[in-house]
Structure 1
Amino acid sequence: MEEENGPRPPAKQPRRRIPKDPAPRFKAPDREALALAQRLVPREHLARRVQRVVERFEMRAVEARYSALGQNGFAPRQLLGLWLYASLIGLHQGTRVARALQTDCALRWLSGGHCISVAVLNRFRAENAGLFLAALEETVRWAVEEGLVRTQELGIDSVRLRAHASRSQVRVHSQSLRRLKHLGAVELDSLDACQREQHSRQVRKHQEAVRLCEQRAAASVVLSNPRAALMQFPGNGVHPGHRLTVVASGVTQRLVVGVLLTASGNDKGHLEEAMQRTRRVLHTAGVPLPTRLQVAGDSGYWSEEDLRFAAHQRPCVDVLLNPGPATGPLANKPGMLQREAFILQHARRAVVCPAGRTMRGPVLNHFDRCEVYFGEGCPTCSLRPRCTHARRRTFSVRWEYEGALEAMLARMRQPDAKARYLQRMATVEPVFASLQQDMGFRRLSSRHPPAIDAEVFLKLLAHNVSRLLTRSRLFCVFVLFEAPAPPPASQPG
C-alpha cells in the first residue's frame, strides 16, 4: 500500500514561539516618578551609596533566569538594592517595605519609580539565598583586595534570633517522655469512649515528638519550623529561635567572613564547621590556603569537640578560647577538692589522688564515654571530708579531652595570648550590635528553610556593605584633610 500511494509526508512539528531577543527584559523605569525622586534624594544619601555598591555585584547568573517572553519583571539589581537599603534603615518585612515605597523617595528612586508589590518583594528574597551568600563572599573579596581583612584578628561568637513559630508548636523530648509515662499509667477501662479517643491522641502526639527528637538528635523540635529549636533568650524567657554563628575579621573593620546557622541551644561543637566555612570563603576571596588563621572565642566553645579541633588543627588555625567550667561527669563537685588537685599521668593513663595514692581502675563508662577511677584507702584518709561524701571517691577522665585541655591552657598562658584575646569582643560583638540595635533585626519573618537562609544572609550582606561604605567615607575624609596644599602662586616681580 505504501508503494502504491507513495511515502507518507512527515508529521508537522508544533510551532514554538522563539523570541527575537533571547536576552531577558526588565520593566522600564517610571520616568515621571523617578525624576521626582531623583530631585528629592541628596547626592550623598545612603540610598545612592548603596546603589553604587550594588552596581559592582556580579548578577548575570541571576538575570539569566528571567525570560524575554511575557510581561517584563523587575530587574534583580533593583530589588537587591531595595532590600539592602530597607534592611539598613530597619525595614525587614515585605509589607512594610511595600507600604514605605508609596511615600519614601529614596526607596522609590531605588525601585525605578515603581511601587512593587509585597508578593514580588517576598518572592525575590525567598528565592535568592544563593545570590545573597555570593554577594556576601564578594564583599569579602573586595575587602581582601583592599587589605581590610585581618586573618590574625578573627573572632567567633553567636547570637540567638527569634524564630517565626509559636510556642504551642514546640515539642521537648524530656517532657514528652515524662508525659508518655503518665499516660501509660492511666486505666483505660475507667475511661469512656470520648476520653479514650483523647487519650490515644495524646499518646500519638508525644510518641511522634519523641521520634522526631531522636531522629534529629535534638532536645526539642518545632513542628512548624524545622530549622528552629527551643532556646533561652536573655531576659525574655524561652522561645523558638535560631542560633547565628558569625566569624568576623578586624578590630576596626568588623567584616563578616564566616556564617553558620543552626538550631542548637549552645555554642558547643560549632567551631570546626564555622572555621571550615571561613577558610573556604577566604580562599575564594584570594587568601592563600597555607595562611595560618587566628581566631578567639568565648567560654561557650570550651567543649571536647572544639578543644580537639584546636589541638589537631594548630598548624592551620591558632585558636584562643576562654577557659570555661567542665560539665557532666567531668564537672567539679561543689565544696569538694577540685580536679586540679588530682595528678593525671598520661603516659601510664593513671590518676593519683591528692593523698598521693594511685587510684584503681579504669572502668569504662559507655554512656558518658569516659573512664572511671576509684579511690584507695578513702575510709581512713584524712582528706576524705574535703574529697567526697561517699564511701570512696570516683574520678572520671576523658584522656583525649584532658590532653587538648592542657594544650589550650598552655597556649592561653603565653604572653601574646591575653592581649590578643581581649580584642575578641571588639571584633565580633559589634556585628550583633549592628544587626539588633542599628537595624532592629531580632526576629525572622519566615519559617521555610530557604527563606530563613536568605533572610539571614541578606542582613549580614547589609552589615558588610555598611562597613565598606563607612570605610570609604573615612578614606575620602582622610584624603581631603591629608592632601598637600598647592604651592603658593609666584609673586609678580
Structure 2
Amino acid sequence: MAVKQPVFKPYNQAQILVLPPTLEELIPLWHPVRVVNEVINKLNIEPLLKAYHIRGSSSYHPQMLLKVVVYGYVTNLYSSRKLAAACKESIYFMWLSSMSYPDHNTINRFRGVRLKHALRSVFEEVVKLLSEEGLLSIEEINTDGTKIEANANKYTFVWKKSIQTNKEKMKKQLTEIWQYAQQVASEEDKMPEPPDFTEINSEKVKAAVDQLNEKLAAKDNADKKVKAKLKYITKHYPQNIEKYEHQEEILGQRNSFSKTDTDATFMRMKEDHMKNGQLKPAYNVQISTSNQFIVNYTIHSNTTDTNTLNAHLTQHEASFGKAPEKLTADAGYGSEENYTLLEQKQTIAFVKYGMFDKEQNENYNNKQPFAASKLFYNQEKDCYICPMGRQMNFIGTSRKRTSTGFEQTVKRYQAGNCANCPLNGACHKSSANRIIEVNVNLNRLKQKAHELLNSEEGLQRRKKRCFDVEPTFGNIKQNHGFKRFMLRGKEKVEIEWGLIAIAQNLRKKAG
C-alpha cells in the first residue's frame, strides 16, 4: 500500500508572470496609506515649493517626501534612516514614493529645513479639510498640555539659582579684597569706598579687578594669601561673569536649560521610570482638540500651563482668522489673566479655577466657616461683616504684577476690634486685627466660571474634555510610543510635533 504524501501549493521563485502585479493591487482599499495619499493630494503645497531653489540639480518632489514622512509618523517610524529603508522594503512606502529611494540625509534635510516655514500651513490645510467633512470643529475646542522629553543630555544643565549663588560669591570675594586693600593702603594712595556690587556685570567686575591689581600688586606688605586670591579672581572672574551673562540671556524667565538643547527646560515628568520625580529637559506641548482631532498646537518652554494660553490662542487666531467660540480646559488655566483674555476675545470659557472641585464638596465648605469668601459684603457701605456682625472697613488698594506683566488689583479690609472678640483665634490666627484681601475682578470671573461649569452645557463639556484631549495625548505617547523628541531646538521640535499632529489626524480619519 502506497504511503500518502502531503500536498503543497506550487512554489517557484523563478516563475515568470505574464501580467506581474502592480503595487496598486497589493494595497487594500481600506488601508491608512490611501488616506495619507488622498489628503496630501488635496493640499495646497505652494508654501512648501518656495523652500526650493530654482537653480541646481533636480530634487525629489516635496509632495512625495511629505507623504513618506507623514506616513512614517502614522506608522511610528520617526527615524530618517528607518524611513529611507522603508522606501526600499515596504510596498506602502514604495507606492507613495513611486519607487523612488531618497536617502536618510534627504529625508532629514526635508524634515528639518524644507518644512521649517511650510509645515504649519500644511497642518492648517489638513484641519480645514477635516472641518469641511464635518469631522471636527474649529470653533469649539478642548485645550490641555503635556510634557515631552527633549533630545538633550539631562546631566548638562544650567540653573538660574546656581548662577545667582556664584554671583553672590563673586560679590562677597570682591568686597572682602576691596576692604583689605583699604586697610593696607597708604594715606597718599587711599582706596575709595567699594563700588556698588548689588548688580554686577562684566564691565564692573573687570574695572574692580584692574583697580585692585593696581593697588595691591606693588604692596610688599600685602598678605600672600590675598594676592593669590586676587590672582585667581583676575584669571577667572571676568570670563565667568561673561559666561553667566550669556546664560542668563538664554534663560530669560526660565529657571533652567540644557546645554545640549538650550530651548529645553528641566521639568518634572509623569513618565518617570525611576519613580523619584526626576527632572528632565523637556518641552511643554499645548494642543486643542475636537473629537480627538488636533486643531491647534504650540510648543513652550514654560513648566506650567497657566502662562501658555495667550500664545496658544494667538496661534489659533493666526491659523483660522478668529478666536474659538468656546474653550474647555482644566484648572491649570484658571487664572485672572486667562479669564480676562478669554473674555476680551469673546470666547465662552468652560475653565475651572483652582478650588472649583473642592468647592463642590459640602464637607469642604463646612470646614471653612470663617473664610473671606463666606463673609457678607455690604455694597452700599463698601464693607464686609465679620462672623461677629462687626464691620470690616476698606483700608486701601494694592496692585501686583505677575511674571507676565499682568496687573492685579486687590482691595484690603480690616476689622475694628479683634482683641476682645470671643472668636479671636478661631476666626483668624493674626495677633492684630484681621485683614482680608479681595480681588473683586477675579471673584467676578470665578463666579461667572462657576455658573458656566455647573450649567447643563458645562457639565457635558467637562465630561467630554476628559475623553477628548487627554486620550489624544495618551494615544500618541502610549500607543504610538512618542515620548521623546528626536530633533533639537524649538524650531525643529515644532516641525516634529506638527508631523505628529498631522499623523494623529490622519490616523483618526482612517480609523
CA–CA distance in 1 between the matches of 2:162 and 2:413? 34
Structure 2 counterpart of 1:374 = 414
List aligned pairs for 1:386-425, cutoff 5 A: 386-392=426-432, 393-425=434-466
Q: Given that residues 159 and 432 in structure 1 are in contact (C-alpha distance below 8 angstroms), is that contact kept between their aligned partners in structure 2?
A: yes
State the TM-score, normalized to the length of structure 1. 0.74
Question: Relative to 1, partners in 2 of residues 1:278 and 1:366: Cα closer, same or farther, differing over 3 Å?
Answer: closer
Question: Relative to 1, partners in 2 of residues 1:72 and 1:151: Cα closer, same or farther, differing over 3 Å?
Answer: closer
Question: Relative to 1, partners in 2 of residues 1:358 and 1:339: Cα closer, same or farther, differing over 3 Å?
Answer: closer
Following superposition, the deviation at residue 235 of structure 1 comes to: 4.6
Letter in 2 for 1:268: T
State the TM-score, normalized to the length of structure 2. 0.72
List aligned pairs for 1:271-282, cutoff 5 A: 271-282=309-320
Corresponding residue to 1:220 among 227, 235, 256 = 256
Structure 2 counterpart of 1:157 = 144
Q: Given that residues 335 and 353 in structure 2 are in contact (C-alpha distance below 8 angstroms), is that contact kept between their aligned partners in structure 1?
A: no
CA–CA distance in 2 between the matches of 1:249 and 1:366? 36
Structure 2 counterpart of 1:14 = none
Structure 2 counterpart of 1:177 = 164
| Percentage of pairs with the same residue | 18
User: What is the SS of the residue equivalent to 1:385?
Assistant: coil
Deviates more, 1:131-140 or 1:180-189: 180-189
Structure 2 counterpart of 1:354 = 387
5+ residue gaps in structure 2? 1-19, 178-225, 273-277, 357-364, 403-407
Structure 2 counterpart of 1:88 = 74
CA–CA distance in 2 between the matches of 1:126 and 1:165? 17
Q: Given that residues 62 and 131 in structure 1 are in contact (C-alpha distance below 8 angstroms), is that contact kept between their aligned partners in structure 2?
A: yes
CA–CA distance in 1 between the matches of 2:124 and 2:421? 62
Corresponding residue to 2:333 among 280, 291, 301 = 301
Question: Relative to 1, partners in 2 of residues 1:398 and 1:152: Cα closer, same or farther, differing over 3 Å?
Answer: same
Q: Given that residues 353 and 359 in structure 1 are in contact (C-alpha distance below 8 angstroms), is that contact kept between their aligned partners in structure 2?
A: no
CA–CA distance in 1 between the matches of 2:52 and 2:336? 49
Q: Given that residues 365 and 372 in structure 1 are in contact (C-alpha distance below 8 angstroms), is that contact kept between their aligned partners in structure 2?
A: no
Deviations 1:6-39 (A, max 9, x none): xxxxxxxxxxxxxxxxxxxxxxxxxxxx988667
Following superposition, the deviation at residue 278 of structure 1 comes to: 3.0
Letter in 1 for 2:41: E
Following superposition, the deviation at residue 72 of structure 1 comes to: 1.8
Letter in 1 for 2:161: S
Structure 2 counterpart of 1:268 = 306
Following superposition, the deviation at residue 200 of structure 1 comes to: 5.6
Letter in 1 for 2:470: E
CA–CA distance in 2 between the matches of 1:194 and 1:335? 59
Following superposition, the deviation at residue 248 of structure 1 comes to: 0.8
User: What is the SS of the residue equivalent to 1:300?
Assistant: helix
Question: Relative to 1, partners in 2 of residues 1:191 and 1:349: Cα closer, same or farther, differing over 3 Å?
Answer: farther
Question: Relative to 1, partners in 2 of residues 1:98 and 1:345: Cα closer, same or farther, differing over 3 Å?
Answer: farther
List aligned pairs for 1:305-384, cutoff 5 A: 305-313=337-345, 316-325=346-355, 337-344=370-377, 350-356=383-389, 357-364=391-398, 366=400, 369=408, 370-384=410-424
RMSD: 3.3
Question: Relative to 1, partners in 2 of residues 1:59 and 1:366: Cα closer, same or farther, differing over 3 Å?
Answer: closer
CA–CA distance in 2 between the matches of 1:74 and 1:227? 32
Q: Given that residues 148 and 483 in structure 2 are in contact (C-alpha distance below 8 angstroms), is that contact kept between their aligned partners in structure 1?
A: yes
- Structure with greater Cα Rg: 2
